[in-house]
């Protein structure tokens, strides 16, 4: 009788452990690889993508426009 009770408790514990591992994704399934994204570029590719360049360009344009209207 004790042996049966121990086996039931062990079965429940193994079942719960397997459920937790599956839900958290700790152990990947055989032949299954998680999707990966390509790395994102960390640097500016072109000047028109650089916010500092655009801000400076806009400031120069406004400054030039202001000088033309003052004369």
Would the pTM of this model clear 0.85, i.e. be above it?
no
More confident residue, 20 or 37: 20
**How many whole angstroms separate alpha carbon 17 and alpha carbon 49?**
50
Residues 6+ apart with CB under 8 A from 53: 44, 47
pLDDT of residue 23: 82
Strand boundaries in the chain, DSSP class E: none
Residue 20: strand, helix, or coil: helix
Q: What is the pLDDT of residue 29?
A: 60
To the nearest 10°, the Cα dihedral for 5, 6, 11, 14? Answer: 150
pLDDT at 4: 93
**Amino acid 26: pLDDT:** 64
Per-residue pLDDT tens over the stretch 20-31: 888 877 655 666
CA distance 32 to 23: 15
């Amino acid at each position: 009788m004790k042996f049966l009770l121990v086996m039931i408790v062990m079965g429940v514990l193994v079942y719960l452990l397997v459920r937790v591992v599956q839900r958290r994704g700790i152990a990947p399934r055989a032949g299954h690889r998680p999707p990966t994204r390509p790395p994102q570029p960390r640097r500016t590719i072109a000047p028109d993508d650089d916010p500092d360049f655009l801000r400076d360009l806009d400031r120069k344009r406004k400054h030039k426009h202001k000088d033309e209207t003052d004369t």
